[in-house]
Amino acid sequence: MFMDMYAVTVPVFDRMLGNMQTWVRIARDHAKAKGFDESVYLTLRLVPDMLPLSRQIQIASDSAKSAVGRLAGMEVPSWPDDEATLDELIARLQKTRDFVTSVSAAQIDGSETRAITVPRRDKEPHRFQGEDFIRFFATPNFYFHATTLYALLRHAGVPIGKMDFLGRS
């Protein structure tokens, strides 16, 4: 079975990263309208042992750029996780979109069987072929963190809904 590796990566990641930018902008504007410091959003968690909102965005960003870079056989750019404001997180999402969309279909197409290795701290790396990597690891990991960001913002009262998650055409 043929899978269009470009079609299931670049446009999908770009759209959701754009949706995430919208949610964070709405959160920033919501804080201003309600008169509280927007930085309270940065440390939101649903449970104490969970990574905070800022890390959810950074990891989603890393997931998207890593998936596309690995499938294209490129060195994945490494960025510091030092964003300290919502605007900086919005900029991180844009930088990720810019990288993801800079990769062409020609660079990704044919990567279904490319050997992909994902390093892990103190453990054996994950090893995949490209198609399994995108279907069973990279895309689910990206959406896990995107969905967690959405849930954190909804839980905090940010006025976003299902169509904000899906994106408006």
Q: What is the mean pLDDT of residues 133-140?
A: 96
Read off the tokens for 46.
């649903």
CB 27 within 8 Å of CB 153? yes
Q: Which amino acid is at 104?
A: S
Q: What percent of the chain has pLDDT over 70?
A: 99
pLDDT in tens, 101-128: 999 999 999 999 999 999 888 889 999 9
Phi-psi region of 168 (alpha: psi -120 to 50; beta: other; left: phi over 0): beta
> How far apart (Å, rounded) are the C-alpha atoms in residues 150 and 48?
18
Of 2-6, 75-79, 87-91, 129-133, which gets the smallest average pLDDT? Answer: 2-6
Each residue's pLDDT tens digit, 36-54: 999 999 999 999 999 999 9
Average pLDDT over residues 4-28: 97
* Domains (range + CATH), the chain: 10-166 (1.20.120.450)
